[in-house]
């Protein structure tokens, strides 16, 4: 019996040491947080803990957060930067390659630290994103360092926060704000390269099992005048790819656009002669608009006129003729077609667009 009780006690002790603790609020009231944005095609995610000022204004920088690199009295590091938050290591993850303040950084997840200074600070991206805080910081694991001149804010921020600001199509500024200090760094992405890379991957999945996907990729490259050699292969596959290829206006016009951009205008014109009878009124109008955007005025005018001949005196073709004549500097003639299009406008937005076009033509200005 005594041996049985001994075995039970040992088993209970083992259970107590192996069972995980229950979830409670973080120590010190520091809030766990996650913030993220998509910049271009790049997903940026930051995981951090949010300490509060707690009536310590004027005692944060240089005191609670000491300047430079310091011995924190624990761990292996004898010269540790600030963990850019509280508790665990702050981490920042990029789904594609990016540039930080003009310096390249590969896709991946990084520990983020700051060696603060009185006027300028050093932002550190480390390949170690899992260590607790900066107690085990090792400069040998640094992947990138950039210098940041922090700014003083008008109002105090109680809980530390990361904010995305000044966003454009391919960039954003990430700011760490706490108390009255703000640290900012600009992240830039290569949207064109990322988009082409994304196309290459997706066209090898089930999304590539139709001609529409290859035509879309080819047309996007034509829109941005980039990656034209590969885009031409995509256009050819949309036309004649095994099982999925289809010769229609969209596939043929995609190839023609790329040929035009590479200077092969004679080949492009031959393809479009084949494509024109296959296109709907809207498709032909859209292609002519693309030609106009590419400054192929004469060819665009030919398509607008052919479209009007096939579908006379309707909103789309009247608008096409107005654009064709305007591109040729024939503003009075263009005005006749714009006036004809006005009562045909299908909705208020189009009506407002036509009215603006009419005012430009009256003033002798090109509407394109």
313 and 257, same structural domain? yes
Last residue of a domain, one of 131, 158, 189: 189
- The verdict on residue 320 lying in a domain is yes
Given a contact cutoff of 8 angstroms between Cβ atoms, the answer to whether 170 and 40 are in contact is yes
Q: Are residues 226 and 314 in the same domain?
A: yes
pLDDT tens, residue by residue, 84-113: 999 999 999 999 999 999 999 999 999 999
pLDDT(323) > 70: yes
pTM comes to 0.78
**What are the structure tokens assigned to 81, written together?**
């930067």
Residues 167 and 203 in one domain: no
Q: Residue 322: name the closest of 306, 309, 335, 310 by CA.
A: 335
Residue 2 lies in a domain: no
pLDDT digits (tens, 9 = 90+) for 258-313: 999 999 999 999 999 899 899 999 999 999 998 998 888 998 999 999 999 999 99
Q: Which of 140, 170, 189 is the last residue of a domain?
A: 189
pLDDT band at 26 (very low <50, low <70, confident <90, very high): low
How far is residue 188's CA from residue 168's CA, in Å, rounded to a whole number?
9
Q: How much is the pLDDT for 236?
A: 98
The pLDDT of 66-82, averaged and rounded, is 96
Whole-number pLDDT of residue 7: 46
List, as one string, the DSSP characters of 159-223: EEEEEEES--SSEEEEEEEEEEEEEEEEEE--HHHHHHHHHHHHTTSGGGSSHHHHHHHHHHHHH
Q: Is the residue at 206 inside a domain?
A: yes
Q: Which domain holds residue 302?
A: 192-362
If asked whether residues 201 and 290 sit together in one domain, one would say yes
- pLDDT for 21 equals 74
Q: Does 176 lie in the same domain as 278?
A: no
The DSSP string of 24-80 is: -PPGGGPEEEEEEEEETTEEEEEEEEE-B-TT-TTSTBTTTB-SS-B--SSSS-SSB
Q: Are residues 202 and 177 in the same domain?
A: no
Count of domains for the chain: 2
201 in the same domain as 286: yes
pLDDT digits (tens, 9 = 90+) for 142-170: 999 999 999 999 999 999 999 999 999 99
Return the CATH number at 265.
1.25.40.10
**Residue 22 contacts by C-beta under 8 Å, 6 or more apart in sequence?**
none
- Tell me which of 144, 159, 189 is where a domain ends: 189
Q: Assess whether 171 and 200 both reside in one domain.
A: no
In this structure, are 76 and 213 located in the same domain? no
Question: Is the domain of 211 the same as that of 301?
Answer: yes
Instruction: Give the mean pLDDT of the chain.
Output: 93
Same domain, yes or no, for 96 and 157? yes
Q: Do 77 and 221 have their domain in common? A: no
């Amino acid at each position: 019996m005594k041996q049985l009780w001994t075995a039970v006690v040992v088993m209970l002790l083992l259970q107590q040491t192996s069972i995980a603790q229950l979830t409670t609020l973080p120590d010190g009231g520091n809030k766990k947080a996650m913030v993220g944005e998509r910049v271009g095609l790049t997903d940026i995610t930051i995981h951090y803990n949010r300490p509060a000022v707690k009536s310590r204004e004027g005692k944060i920088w240089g005191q609670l957060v000491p300047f430079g690199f310091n011995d924190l009295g624990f761990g292996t590091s004898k010269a540790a930067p600030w963990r850019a938050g509280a508790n665990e290591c702050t981490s920042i993850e990029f789904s594609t390659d990016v540039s930080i303040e003009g310096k390249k950084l590969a896709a991946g997840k990084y520990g983020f630290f700051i060696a603060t200074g009185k006027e300028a600070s050093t932002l550190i991206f480390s390949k170690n994103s899992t260590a607790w805080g900066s107690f085990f910081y090792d400069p040998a694991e640094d992947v990138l360092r950039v210098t940041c001149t922090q700014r003083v804010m008008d109002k105090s921020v109680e809980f530390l926060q990361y904010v995305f600001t000044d966003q454009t199509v391919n960039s954003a500024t990430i700011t760490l704000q706490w108390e009255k200090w703000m640290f900012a760094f600009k992240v830039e992405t290569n949207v064109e390269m990322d988009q082409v890379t994304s196309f290459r991957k997706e066209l090898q999945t089930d999304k590539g099992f139709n001609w529409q996907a290859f035509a879309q990729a080819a047309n996007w490259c034509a829109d941005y005048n980039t990656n034209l050699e590969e885009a031409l292969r995509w256009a050819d596959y949309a036309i004649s790819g095994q099982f999925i290829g289809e010769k229609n206006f969209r596939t043929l016009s995609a190839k023609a656009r790329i040929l035009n951009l590479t200077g092969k205008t004679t080949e492009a014109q031959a393809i479009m002669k084949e494509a024109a009878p296959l296109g709907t009124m809207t498709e032909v109008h859209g292609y002519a608009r693309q030609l106009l955007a590419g400054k192929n005025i004469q060819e665009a005018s030919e398509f607008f006129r052919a479209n009007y001949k096939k579908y006379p005196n309707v909103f789309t073709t009247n608008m096409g003729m107005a654009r064709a004549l305007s591109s040729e500097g024939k503003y009075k003639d263009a005005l006749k077609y714009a006036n004809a299009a006005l009562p045909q406008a299908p909705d208020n937005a189009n009506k407002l667009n036509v009215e603006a076009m009419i005012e430009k033509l009256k003033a002798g200005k090109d509407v394109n």
